[in-house]
């Protein structure tokens, strides 16, 4: 009888501890799946921002030891505001929380804090992104992890006070089944992530042994749906539409992602939309073009979606996976379109340019294919760092700089919208902006003839070849 009483008291105690759990998973789920979250500190950790579908909203996520309610409070020019979110967990000894700030003034600094209503974080600030701004700066990385080189990259990102966002093209923490690695990774990135949003494309290392994408799905959320992750989505920033796709889910013709990608890119390329975002950038993990001998080009991916990228005039494709840096010329079907193009200033609309930026901290892959392919404009295989992007409305340009962790600059180039290349008088091919050589035209048309596809001209916005 005494034993039963003790067990009853323990049951009552558990229920009392779980009283704050009123959102998200049920009490039964918490007890069954996440017993480690029934006790512990309510102090918010791993606080990170993520942009939402609407620029006037910002999602904030965080972790605690104990399950409980999720609240965010913020102050902007309209006054003081608050919202209740949700709490949830998975097979790990942390509880996760998500809430969203809405109706935010664009381009304004916001002060906010998160907590359960009794225990709060310190106050933090961020500035909302105004898609109509005439200037925007952000950072792109891939293949990050927990190495000393990765922490050097983190320190560089934190020190960059002008950057308003970070994108990461997969292979984020390299937890590989150890969920504590995710905790440590977030703790290190928090000084940046609580001030500017980090947007992600999923990589192969997010597909963890046994649990699959569970850890990733619970720690990032692009669709504001509890315990799920939109593996492909878009975000508009000043001057550019960012398209995040998944190389880890089906992308072949007829798949849901392929249909989505086709529709998104077709819409993005409409003149009315190009007027608001002249540049279209696709982020994914595995590269369509890579001259690194470790993985190399993902031929299946290239065969599946390159036509879409060319047809809809994608300007840049940013990937990781191979741990080195490489930039291609504008390229179609392995044919470089580089005749008459300056190395550092390139008009948009010729053909997609591909970047491999797997230099975020994981050990470098130093063996390269030789000779260097004709489509490869620049590569280096023994550095770590990040890519910095700057959009400027006044010059209609998007500039890229490869920053190494030793404070030196590697590659740099600029895409310019509406740029006209001067035609050499002896070229025999006058009057066509965007090309300086008949051979470039021949290359494009030749590829189109082989594939029987639609190619969009960089100079008049009309089709120069159809089936």
Per-residue pLDDT tens, the chain, 467 aa: give them: 344 455 544 444 544 444 444 444 455 666 677 888 889 999 999 999 999 999 999 999 999 999 999 999 999 999 999 999 999 999 899 999 999 999 999 999 999 999 999 999 999 999 999 999 999 999 999 999 999 999 999 999 999 999 999 999 999 999 999 999 999 999 999 999 999 999 999 999 999 999 999 999 999 987 777 656 679 999 999 999 999 999 999 999 999 999 999 999 999 999 999 999 999 999 999 999 999 999 999 999 999 999 999 999 999 999 999 999 999 999 999 999 998 888 899 999 999 999 999 999 999 999 999 999 999 999 999 999 999 999 999 999 999 999 999 999 999 999 999 876 543 433 332 233 333 333 344 344 444 443 444 333 333 333 332 33
pLDDT at position 27? 59
Nearest to 294 by CA among 185, 143, 177, 404: 143
Strand order in the sheet with 385-392: 198-201, 166-169, 135-141, 385-392, 397-404, 409-416, 345-347
Question: SS3 for 403?
Answer: strand
Nearest to 247 by CA among 298, 302, 193, 284: 284
Domain over 17-127 is classified CATH 2.60.40.380? yes
Reported pTM: 0.87
Tell me, letter by letter, the H, E, C secondary structure of 201-261: ECCHHHCECCCECHHHHHHCCCCCCCCCCCCCEEEEECCEEEEECCCCCCCCCCCHHHHHH
Report helix angle 299-311 to 256-268, nearest 10. Answer: 30
Q: Where in the chain is the domain with CATH 3.60.21.10?
A: 135-427
Domain over 135-427 is classified CATH 3.60.21.10? yes
Q: Which two tokens stand for residue 273?
A: 């939309």
For residues 90 and 59, is the Cβ–Cβ distance under 8 A? no
Pairing verdict, β 353-357 and 409-416: unpaired
For residues 86 and 98, is the Cβ–Cβ distance under 8 A? yes
Q: Where in the chain is the domain with CATH 2.60.40.380?
A: 17-127
pLDDT at position 235? 96
């Amino acid at each position: 009888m005494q034993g039963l009483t003790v067990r009853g008291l323990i049951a009552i105690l558990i229920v009392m501890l779980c009283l704050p759990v009123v959102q998200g998973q049920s009490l039964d789920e918490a007890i069954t799946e996440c017993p480690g979250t029934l006790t512990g500190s309510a102090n918010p950790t791993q606080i990170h921002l993520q942009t939402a579908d609407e620029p006037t909203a910002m999602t904030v996520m965080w972790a605690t030891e104990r399950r409980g309610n999720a609240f965010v409070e913020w102050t902007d020019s309209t006054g003081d505001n608050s919202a209740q979110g949700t709490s949830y967990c998975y097979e790990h000894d942390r509880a996760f929380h998500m809430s969203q700030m809405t109706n935010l003034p664009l381009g304004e600094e916001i002060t906010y804090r998160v907590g359960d209503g009794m225990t709060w974080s310190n106050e933090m600030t961020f500035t909302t992104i105004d898609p109509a701004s005439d200037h925007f700066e952000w950072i792109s990385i891939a293949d990050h992890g927990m190495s000393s080189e990765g922490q050097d990259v983190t320190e560089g990102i934190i020190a960059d006070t002008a950057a308003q966002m970070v994108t990461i093209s997969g292979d984020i923490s390299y937890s590989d089944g150890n969920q504590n690695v995710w905790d440590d990774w977030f703790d290190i990135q928090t000084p940046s992530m609580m001030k500017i949003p980090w947007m992600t494309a999923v990589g192969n290392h997010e597909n963890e042994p046994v649990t699959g994408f569970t850890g990733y799905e619970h720690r990032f959320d692009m669709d504001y749906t509890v315990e799920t992750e939109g593996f492909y989505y878009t975000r508009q920033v000043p001057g550019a539409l960012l398209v995040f796709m998944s190389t880890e889910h089906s992308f072949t013709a007829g798949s849901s992602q392929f249909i989505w990608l086709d529709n998104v890119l077709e819409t993005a390329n409409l003149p009315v939309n190009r007027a608001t975002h002249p540049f279209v950038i696709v982020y994914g993990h595995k590269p369509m073009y890579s001259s690194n001998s470790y993985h190399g080009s993902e031929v299946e991916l290239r065969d599946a979606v390159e036509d879409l990228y060319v047809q809809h005039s994608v300007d840049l494709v940013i990937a990781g996976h191979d741990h080195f840096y490489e930039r291609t010329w504008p390229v179609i079907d392995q044919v470089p379109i580089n005749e008459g193009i300056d190395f550092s200033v390139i008009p948009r609309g010729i053909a997609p340019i591909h970047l491999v930026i797997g230099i975020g901290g994981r050990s470098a892959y130093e063996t390269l294919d030789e000779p260097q392919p004709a489509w490869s404009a620049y590569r280096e295989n023994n550095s770590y760092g990040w890519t910095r992007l700057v959009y400027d409305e006044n010059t209609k340009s998007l500039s890229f700089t490869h920053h190494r962790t030793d404070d030196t600059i590697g590659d740099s180039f600029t895409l310019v919208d509406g740029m006209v290349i001067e035609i050499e008088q002896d070229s025999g091919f006058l009057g066509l902006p965007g090309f300086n050589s008949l051979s470039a035209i021949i290359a494009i048309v030749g590829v189109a003839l082989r594939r029987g596809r639609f190619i969009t001209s960089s100079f008049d916005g009309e089709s120069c070849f159809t089936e």
